[in-house]
């Protein structure tokens, strides 16, 4: 079990360090690197479990403790069962919370209506020029987002979108359609499931949050590459964020990942980094992550060596006991 946690922590630290060292403009590459972190969160427990079943890796030691001769469980077994129980209870609670948020998102899209029936005819040519997915209007959202309707991605617009300028509407639609094209909604669902498994690990939360930020910045890149000026785009985002007055279902929007703090980081990224091409300045964080990864890697190596030594010693002890055993126990 300890080796699994050390391996996961070292892998996530390496992913975060690689993401920090990338240039500020490498949003697409940063998204892929952080996506590797999400895949590690999902795949590593399964790989270690299958490897343990096949006898190709060290036992995860869920039942590492020994039961005393008196028939009572040792403290190692009792403590491990308590930890495993708390872990499973937390995972069940996180999965239940995710299910509620997912159902709220589906209901949010179900209450929407086709944009061709809600918005002026002058805006229909914009929707036609954007192509798929479908654009719908919901009275329960305060900002545009991508959701699922009949298990297909759709762009949800707030009711006040009828008052937006044409340039603003084009920029918003291009941003959200980029989310839909890249399948960010499904990847976020996979990341939330992985986070439910590792709900207690702080690096799992950091990886998912950084991946979401990279997705937003990558979609902002698509808008800016279409010819929109950074100052104009940032001003539009702030105007739209400050103009929402309709209530929004909290579970649905928490799954869709909208928050004021992320908006501030997006605006700062648009105004400060687009067009500069400089490297990310967070060298202190990179060095700290690198040193921590080396320390944990060394600790993992020492731990595995000790496990191997203990396993070999146990095998030698068992072999010696078999050799010393009397093959004829009835004969003194």
> Within this chain, do residues 284 and 262 fall inside the same structural domain, yes or no?
no
> Within this chain, do residues 140 and 221 fall inside the same structural domain, yes or no?
yes
Task: Establish if 148 belongs to a structural domain.
Answer: yes
> Within this chain, do residues 166 and 241 fall inside the same structural domain, yes or no?
yes
| Structure confidence at residue 298 (pLDDT) | 60
| Structure confidence at residue 278 (pLDDT) | 39
The helix (H) or strand (E) run that includes residue 145 is strand 145-149
> Within this chain, do residues 91 and 126 fall inside the same structural domain, yes or no?
yes
Task: Establish if 312 belongs to a structural domain.
Answer: no
**Other beta carbons less than 10 A from residue 263's beta carbon:** 16
| Structure confidence at residue 259 (pLDDT) | 57
Task: Establish if 320 belongs to a structural domain.
Answer: no
Choosing from 230, 253, 276, the residue where a domain stops is 276
> Within this chain, do residues 103 and 246 fall inside the same structural domain, yes or no?
yes
pTM to 2 decimals? 0.77
Choosing from 258, 276, 294, the residue where a domain stops is 276
| Tens of pLDDT, residues 124-169 | 667 666 666 888 998 888 788 899 888 889 999 988 888 888 888 8
| Structure confidence at residue 195 (pLDDT) | 93
> Within this chain, do residues 259 and 120 fall inside the same structural domain, yes or no?
yes
Task: Establish if 65 belongs to a structural domain.
Answer: no
- How far is it, in rounded angstroms, from Cα 272 to Cα 3? 41
| Structure confidence at residue 59 (pLDDT) | 45
Number of separate domains in the chain: 2
| Structure confidence at residue 8 (pLDDT) | 83
> Within this chain, do residues 39 and 84 fall inside the same structural domain, yes or no?
no
> Within this chain, do residues 53 and 180 fall inside the same structural domain, yes or no?
no
| Structure confidence at residue 325 (pLDDT) | 63
Choosing from 276, 296, 325, the residue where a domain stops is 276
> Within this chain, do residues 9 and 129 fall inside the same structural domain, yes or no?
no
Mean pLDDT by runs of 10 across the 332 residues of the chain is: 76 86 85 91 75 50 44 58 88 94 90 79 66 82 86 88 86 90 92 92 92 91 89 86 55 58 77 50 54 61 66 73 62 54
| Structure confidence at residue 211 (pLDDT) | 93
> Within this chain, do residues 21 and 166 fall inside the same structural domain, yes or no?
no
| Structure confidence at residue 215 (pLDDT) | 92
Q: Where are the alpha helices (DSSP H) in the chain?
A: 2-21, 27-54, 75-110, 115-118, 124-130, 166-182, 184-197, 202-225, 230-242, 250-256, 260-272, 283-324
Tokens representing 38 are 């999400």
> Within this chain, do residues 176 and 249 fall inside the same structural domain, yes or no?
yes
Task: Establish if 271 belongs to a structural domain.
Answer: yes
Task: Establish if 5 belongs to a structural domain.
Answer: yes
| Tens of pLDDT, residues 193-237 | 999 999 999 999 999 999 998 999 999 999 998 888 999 898 888
> Within this chain, do residues 117 and 218 fall inside the same structural domain, yes or no?
yes
Determine the 3-state secondary structure of 41 from DSSP.
helix
Identify the domain containing residue 22 by its residue range.
1-58+280-307
Task: Establish if 186 belongs to a structural domain.
Answer: yes
Task: Establish if 321 belongs to a structural domain.
Answer: no
């Amino acid at each position: 079990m300890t080796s699994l946690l050390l391996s996961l922590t070292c892998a996530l630290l390496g992913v975060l360090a690689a993401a920090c060292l990338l240039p500020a403009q490498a949003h697409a590459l940063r998204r892929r690197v952080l996506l590797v972190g999400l895949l590690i969160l999902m795949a590593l427990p399964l790989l270690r479990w299958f490897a343990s079943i096949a006898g190709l890796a060290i036992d995860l030691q869920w039942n590492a403790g020994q039961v005393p001769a008196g028939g009572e469980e040792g403290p190692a077994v009792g403590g491990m069962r308590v930890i495993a129980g708390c872990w499973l209870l937390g995972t069940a609670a996180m999965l239940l919370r995710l299910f509620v948020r997912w159902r709220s998102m589906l209901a949010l899209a179900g209450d929407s209506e086709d944009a061709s029936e809600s918005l002026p005819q002058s805006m229909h040519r914009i929707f036609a020029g954007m192509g798929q997915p479908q654009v719908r209007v919901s009275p329960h959202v305060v900002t545009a987002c991508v959701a699922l309707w009949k298990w297909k991605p759709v762009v949800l617009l707030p009711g006040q979108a009828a008052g937006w300028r044409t340039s603003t509407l084009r920029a918003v639609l291009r941003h959200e359609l980029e989310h839909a094209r890249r399948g960010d909604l499904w990847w976020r669902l996979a990341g939330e499931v992985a986070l439910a498994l590792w709900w207690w690990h702080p690096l799992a939360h950091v990886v998912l949050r950084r991946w979401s930020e990279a997705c937003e910045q990558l979609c902002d890149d698509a808008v800016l590459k279409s010819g929109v000026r950074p100052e104009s785009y940032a001003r539009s985002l702030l105007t739209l964020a400050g103009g929402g007055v309709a209530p929004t279902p909290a579970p649905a929007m928490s799954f869709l990942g909208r928050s004021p703090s992320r908006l501030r980081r997006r605006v700062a990224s648009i105004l400060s980094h687009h067009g500069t091409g400089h490297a990310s300045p967070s060298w202190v964080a990179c060095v700290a992550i690198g040193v921590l990864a080396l320390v944990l890697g060394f600790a993992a190596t020492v731990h595995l060596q000790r496990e191997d030594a203990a396993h070999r010693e146990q095998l030698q002890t068992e072999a010696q006991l078999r050799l010393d055993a009397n093959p004829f126990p009835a004969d003194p």
